[in-house]
Amino acid sequence: MTKLLQINTSLFAGKGQSSQLAEQFVAEWRQNHPDTQVQVRDLANDGVPHLDAQRFSAFITPAEARSPEQQAVADYSEALIAELKAAEVIVLGLPMYNFGVPSQLKSYFDHIARAGISFRYTANGPEGLIKGKKVYVFAARGGLYAGTPLDSQTNYVRDFLRFIGITDVEFVYAEGLNIDADRKQSALHQAQDAIQRLAA
């Protein structure tokens, strides 16, 4: 059995274009891999709190010294990490907001980047501890950014995932969705072709 984790980050939850592309991929994947167990984390309807001083302090306080409130924060973070570690395939719906990733995704990343749990520091530099995963990222953009200096998402997401140990990352772009109807239709059609190819 394959475990697949779908992470939607659109403000519009399942109605966002990135979420819909991720959903199409998961549906196609399940047809081709019927033994797949799917878990969905929707960061719009079940958001991860933004990192603040209190939450960060809970992370770095030794377990034996944590207050009950701090332990609850650490347990929540570690549950997110355990969910990620359990998945073999990760599907990420990624809209672009104001040239960056959704703040909901940044909060999620802030809670799964934990020294000693998802990565560790060594004499040779940091080492990611979440390995052996395949990630598919469905990036939906209103304009045209891929391959330009304005695409702040691709390198950031790749670098973060690499930092925690995930190096096998495939991006599918659906761009120009807000330019005109023809460009939108063409972009979605190309993304759907990629879905069929990658989910085989």
Is 98 assigned to a binding site? yes
Nearest to 5 by CA among 33, 49, 42: 42
Alpha carbon distance 186, 169 (integer Å): 24
pLDDT in tens, 77-99: 999 999 999 999 999 999 999 99
Kindly list the domain boundaries of the chain, sorted by start residue. Answer: 3-198
Is 174 in contact with 141 (CB distance < 8 Å)?
A: yes
Q: Report DSSP state, residue 46.
A: S
pLDDT for 6-35, tens place per residue? 999 999 999 999 999 999 999 999 999 999
H helix and E strand count, the chain: 6, 7
Spatial separation of the C-alpha atoms in residues 48 and 71, rounded to whole Å = 16
Asked if residue 57 belongs to a known ligand binding site, the reply is no
Residue 96 labeled ligand binder: yes
99 marked as part of a ligand binding site: yes
pTM of the predicted model as reported, rounded to 2 decimal places: 0.95
**Residues of the chain scoring pLDDT < 70:** none
CATH C-level class of 3-198: alpha beta
Is 173 marked within a binding site? no
